[in-house]
Structure 1
Amino acid sequence: MFATHLAFTPVKWDNAALHSNRELAAEAAVAIVVNGTTQAVMMATPADLEAFGIGFLLTERLLASVDEILRLEVVDHELGIEVRFWLVEARARFLADRRRTMAGPTGCGLCGIESLEQAMRDIKPVGAGISLNAEQVYAAMASLGPAQDLNAMTHAVHAAALWHPEQGLLAICEDVGRHNALDKLVGTAIRNGLRPDHCALLLTSRISIEMIQKAAVLGTATVIAVSAPTGLAVKIAEGANITVIGVARHDGFEVFSHAERVV
């Protein structure tokens, strides 16, 4: 069983060389395997891997619905971990045909794509979503730090979370990869029957195009992050009816798209 963090004793310099104790974030090679064929291999934090696999297949559009999953299991190997899926025949056949033409997954968040058209794929606009006032934006981001248990130990992982205006944080997932954290959150939301359309998506990372694409699959209309978005992410968010709030800190934030949701 792979651990999520490992104990180390580095030499710490503070006017003198001293030994200190530190927990480091663990990462492992995680393979997403469908009906015996590997679809992608990524470095990820070895936790919430069933949710990670579901979220990855959905956000990368390798799966249309969780109803297409017949069975799944997580199997540890000496060199890494396999998240094994068995899908209905029609979907498995589609992925097998697609795999034969795939140049190779990159693990960068746009995994297993073989054309510019796929990278810039159309996004179905999300629904109305929720409105937030400034105090709620501050409260949402303030709730994120204390809930990051793994990051508190390692200071080396990203988080993605769903925040409800009345109920607070409903779910949070952490990973060494920002895309992986969001994929885990997508899978967690589906498995737990959450309503992302009633929540804001919170991120500890910058907002790039693939994060907006994944947010659209999740179905949330408001994305709030501690860092800024890219220009392309804002453009895509405009068309997808997604409010992008970036540089959200204790002393302010900036709204980059669909500002009508911030009241």
Structure 2
Amino acid sequence: MCLIAFAWQAHPQLDLVVAANRDEFHQRPTEAAHWWQEPAGTFGGRDREAGGAWCAVDRHGRFAAVTNVREPARAAPVRSRGLLVRDYFAEPCGASAWAARMAEQGPAFGPFNLLVGDRDTLWFVSNRGSVRHMALRPGVHAISNGHWGDHWPKTERAQDRLQTLLGAGALEDDVLCDLLADTDIAPARALPDTGVGDERERFLSPLFIRSAMYGTRASTVIRRDRSGRVHFHERGFDADARITHRVDQDWRIDKEDRS
């Protein structure tokens, strides 16, 4: 994914709220969100090219999502970033253990930001920037393709809007998807400099990216409540930003200990 706005332990009824966009080349083969056969009991979309995933939740309420970190040029990674998400759900461990393991194995992957959580904790892991491994405190946050703590227009806009919606109790699928559908281009003075040039920085600055070759392929909304229920909503998009599919899934968390 290329934008993840999330609220962790910041709402009286919902312990986790996620609103995220996955940006990718339109030609890359992808499966819409579904229950996986392997690892079983996991729900999310799948990358058919490398076999990984960008965002998923399992029946135990464990959550993981990944973004890349933008760099102008880099060597091909040994392993796909999507495996950081997929393989978490194949292991009977909690978020803390998986985060520590992925922090150690970070050099084997391309540049990434990873969120990994269970019912009790939420962790950030990266192999770039000054912040590589930390437990997240309650609050509203957003990450994209920069380092933790970078002030990008898209992440600040997403974080501020999610904070406002959280305070208003307006967390329905349509409302959060409207947040993610923002196509406003950031002003030139506010653009980050990641080494890809001003024109591409402008192109990548909206929350929702639209073009014939590369853009927002899916928007995902996740709500996990304190009573033990998960709601997962996904919308897929084509190159013209038309909705190609909608997926809704709700389930009660299996309280069998996986940590």
Larger Rg: 1
Tell me if both proteins adopt one fold, taking TM over 0.5 as the criterion: no
* TM-score for both structures, normalised by structure 2: 0.24
Q: Which has the higher strand share?
A: 2
* TM-score for both structures, normalised by structure 1: 0.24
Q: Which has the higher helix share?
A: 1
